[in-house]
Amino acid sequence: MSRIKRLIIADDHAVVRRGIRQMITRQDIEIVAEASDGQTAVTLASEHVPDLMILDLSLPGLNGLEVTRAVKAKHPSIEILLYTLHDREDMQIEALRNGVGGYVLKSDSPDHLVKAVDSLLLHRPYFSSVSQTLLERFLKNEEAPQSALTAREREVVQLVAEGKINKQVAHILGISIKTVETHRAAAMNKLGIRTTAELVRFAVRNGIVEA
């Protein structure tokens, strides 16, 4: 008979913790502790050394990434699953860099959380919202798409995402319309983006502009 897997849940909302419990409760899983803040989560990790921790990214005190770093430094075998509202690609890359094994959005269907738990308990990564391209780029130790842009390309992307037309961008940056078009095309090519709508979505996901 397989060993019962031990989990810790950390989220500052009791209703979310209760919902997670309901989604993953079964005979081969035991929720050994819950935390409502990051520091408590780190303390509980050392006390219980669970198989898996399910963390909110926006925990009070220490956030999910800070908890991950602290836990992984002492207990590298503990798997970490971030269960969060944040779908920004820079956050996802940062999670990967810090040893997070799973990333699921709270807006995803519940079976994504269940599948993520099952995968991580087998030491297999599970990312419901990270694009395959982004994951492959990280695994090849390449930088995030945003960091591939030059400073000028990023400025153009920001202004276009804010709704400015090429003529307005040219006026704001003090460059020609042709140069704006060149930077815009280069940025979209680097990002693998074909439409302005996609460019806006990229800018919002990566914190270049506010939604």
- Read off the pLDDT of residues 23-70 as tens digits, 9 standing for 90 and up: 998 889 999 999 999 999 999 999 999 999 999 999 999 999 999 999
Query: Is 145-205 a domain of CATH 3.90.550.10?
Result: no
Instruction: From first to last of the 211 residues of the chain, give the pLDDT tens digit.
Output: 568 999 999 999 999 999 999 999 888 999 999 999 999 999 999 999 999 999 999 999 999 999 999 999 899 999 999 999 887 777 777 787 788 888 999 988 889 999 999 999 998 888 876 555 556 655 555 455 555 788 898 899 999 988 899 999 999 999 999 999 999 998 888 777 778 887 887 787 777 776 5
Residue ranges, CATH 3.40.50.2300, the chain: 5-139
- Residue 195's pLDDT is 83
- In the sheet with 79-84, reading across from the earlier edge strand, the strands are 29-35, 5-10, 52-55, 79-84, 102-105, 126-127
| DSSP at 78 | S
Positive or negative torsion for Cα 113, 77, 75, 139: negative
Indicate yes or no: pTM above 0.85: no
Query: Is 5-139 a domain of CATH 3.40.50.2300?
Result: yes
